[in-house]
Each structure stands twice: as structure tokens, then as C-alpha cells.
Amino acid sequence: MDEETERLAAVFKALSEPVRLRLLERLPRADEPREISVCELADALEIPQPNVSHHLAILKAAGLVRCTKESCKCFYSVHSEAVEAAFAALRGRL
């Protein structure tokens, strides 16, 4: 497999978990002025904070979310361009 195919597979594997899709729905877009904390996401989705952190780490590794650290808190937003690029690449392969 070429590098691009492996990258796309990692992106879609990250998107294959329903909790991660719910997280992406809740996250602000990268062009919005606001980011959201892990604790806010855990409260909103009624999921334990460690689980939210785990799923966000997978989305971040796939390049789908951005993280900003302030003190000991992490704030997240969707990396919209990466999501759009992944779907565009998939459409180009079909």
C-alpha cells in the first residue's frame, strides 16, 4: 500500500467509532473562535473523561482534530481542512 492509502485508512478507521463521530459533531470548526475542553465534551456526551481523552487522541493522531493546551487543560476543535481533504481523496478513488 502506498503512503496516501495508509493515511486514508487511518482516517477512516478513526471515524469508524460512533463515539468519535459524536465528538466531531460537538467540536467547533477550526474557523470558529471557540474551542471546547475535554471536560465539557465529557459532560455534554455523558461519557467518562478518560474515554473522551482516549477517543480525542485517536482523532488527533489521524489529523482530524486540533488541540491547544492551556496550563493543564486541553481544548479541541475540528481540523476541517483535513476532514474535507480525506473525503475528497476518497471521492477521487471511487
pLDDT band of residue 1 (cuts 50, 70, 90) is low
2-20 pLDDT, tens digit each: 888 888 888 889 999 999 9
What domains does the chain contain, in order, with CATH numbers?
Answer: 3-93 (1.10.10.10)
Say yes or no to pLDDT of 90 above 80: no
Strands 65-70 and 73-78: antiparallel
> Identity (one letter) of the amino acid at 6?
E
CB of 74 closer than 8 Å to CB of 66: no
**Which pLDDT value is given to residue 41?**
94
Instruction: Give 30-80 pLDDT, tens digit per residue.
Output: 677 788 999 999 999 999 999 999 999 999 999 999 999 888 888 999 988
